[in-house]
Amino acid sequence: MKEKIIVALSGGVDSSVAAALALEAGFEVVGVTLRLKHPDPAFSSAQLCASKSDEEAIDLLVRKLGIEHHYLEGFDRFREQVLLPAANEYVSGRTPNPCCNCNLLVKFGMLVDFAEQIGAAQVVTGHYARIAEQNNVFSLLRGDDPNKDQSYFLYRLTQRELSRLRFPVGQLRKEEVRRIAAGLGLSTAQKADSQDACFQVEGECFGETLRRLCNLESKKGRFLYQGKTVGRHNGIHLYTIGQRKGLGVALGVPGYVSAIDPESGDITLDTEEEKLLSCSFEVRNVSWQSGFPPEGDELEVQIRYRSRSVLCRIGRNGDRVTVTPAVPLRAVTPGQAAVFYRGATLLGGGLICC
């Protein structure tokens, strides 16, 4: 009797290969695809998770592999748990990272629930990350392809999820994944990498889409530079710390957002990179996957996706963690995830608060 596992299929090459590898390894594979699409056409010009062309690719793949497959409707949960909170963050002048919440609260939550429902022991996805186990404690590691590593987005996963997860492409490089897909004759082999947010309307920034969706007001105000008003903007949700593009203000040298005041709506610009550097910051809602790291441990912190992690020291400060990076970090942004690593091992993370 083969062991039953579920594989999350997005329609992309990574999950296709993950499914194929699971089949090869001798599992009974049940494909699952989450539908997170908004029913309203005003939001459906978007390239959404599991959009129509993705579903065609998925149907083709499922037939090719000869596996059972289910769609799970997740939009309501996605809206409640991810979109609404993210929209609130944006209009409060912070920059949320909805993917981190989505992974714990929607994607892996639903997948693990479904796995339990149908009696599947494990959940396979096409993420670029790895899982290690020691004495029945699971830890998350960076994917082996440094350009594709997605562990940052998974920092909120707990032992409940990790103990059931397998990431077969986490030890591969993207080129190898494509080669495997091509070798197996999978139609997704040449498919472009998925690019936009799950919830991106063409020609509109993510914060604005969320604001419209949730019907929220955003504070408008001035651009300030060296104490002077140099322009006006249409809402603080459109801007993030360190942002250069889209300001519409010509200062003669590049200008960057250095502060957002949600009370007045004022956005402060700076032209000197040094003004954007932080020597220390606080993190809240911190979760550790196997406890607070021992004193004196050499840690690294990563403050946004695709930025390098840097050595740091951390200290407890009530229920917050104070982080002191070895080198000052540029554009530390409230609302973004600060994720801690020791080498390739992800230790935990939280939300930057100041």
Partner RNA sequence: AACCCCAUGGUGUAACGGUAGCACAACUGGUUUUGGUCCAGUUAGUCUAGGUUCGAAUCCUGGUGGGGUUG
Where do contacts with RNA occur on this chain (CB under 7 A)?
95-99, 125, 127, 147-148, 150, 153, 193-197, 200, 205-207, 239-256, 304-307, 330-331, 333, 336
Shortest distance, position 100 Cβ to RNA, whole Å: 8
Helix axes 13-24, 174-183, angle to 10 degrees: 60
CB of 303 to RNA, least distance (A): 8
Centre a 10 Å sphere on the Cβ of residue 38 and count the other Cβ atoms it contains. Answer: 18
For residues 16 and 240, which CB has a smaller minimum distance to RNA in the complex?
A: 240
- Tell me which residue has tokens 């994944």: 177
- Closest approach, Cβ 163 to RNA, in A, equals 19
DSSP 189-257: TTPPPP-S-TEE-TTS-HHHHHHHHHT-----EEEEETTEEEEEES-GGG--TT--TT-----SS--EE
Annotated catalytic residue within 49, 99, 100, 198? 198
28 vs 212, which CB is nearer to RNA?
212
Q: Are 333 and 281 in contact (CB under 8 A)?
A: no
Q: Please spell the DSSP secondary structure of 109-146, one letter per residue.
A: HHHHHHHHHTT-SEEE---SEEEEEETTEEEEEE-SST
Among residues 2 and 308, whose Cβ is nearest to RNA? 308
354 counts as catalytic: no
| Residue 254 CB partners (closer than 8 Å, separation 6+) | 244, 271
Identify which of residues 23 and 303 has a Cβ nearer to RNA in the complex: 303
For RNA, the closer CB: 28 or 179:
179
CB nearer to RNA: pick between 146 and 315: 146
Active site residue 279: no
Buried b (16+ CB within 10 A) or exposed e, 60-77: ebbebbebebeebebbeb
Helix (H, G, I), strand (E, B) or coil at 20: helix
Q: Which residues pair with 323 in a beta bridge?
A: 281, 314
* Shortest Å distance, C-beta 219 to RNA: 16
Please tell me the distance from the alpha carbon of residue 266 to that of residue 177, in angstroms, as a whole number: 47
Q: In whole angstroms, how close is the CB of 266 to RNA at the nearest point?
A: 18
Helices 13-24 and 52-65: crossing angle in degrees, nearest 10, is 20
CA gap 189, 287 in Å, rounded? 37
CB of 49 to RNA, least distance (A): 8
- The DSSP output letter for 170 is G
Q: In the bound complex, what is the minimum distance in angstroms from residue 133's beta carbon to RNA?
A: 21
Angle at 127 between CA 211 and CA 40, to 5 degrees: 30
Residue tagged 């993917």 (tokens): 99
Catalytic residue among 49, 99, 100, 102: 102
For RNA, the closer of residues 244 and 316 by Cβ is: 244
Return the DSSP state at 279: S
Query: What positions carry a catalytic annotation?
Result: 102, 198
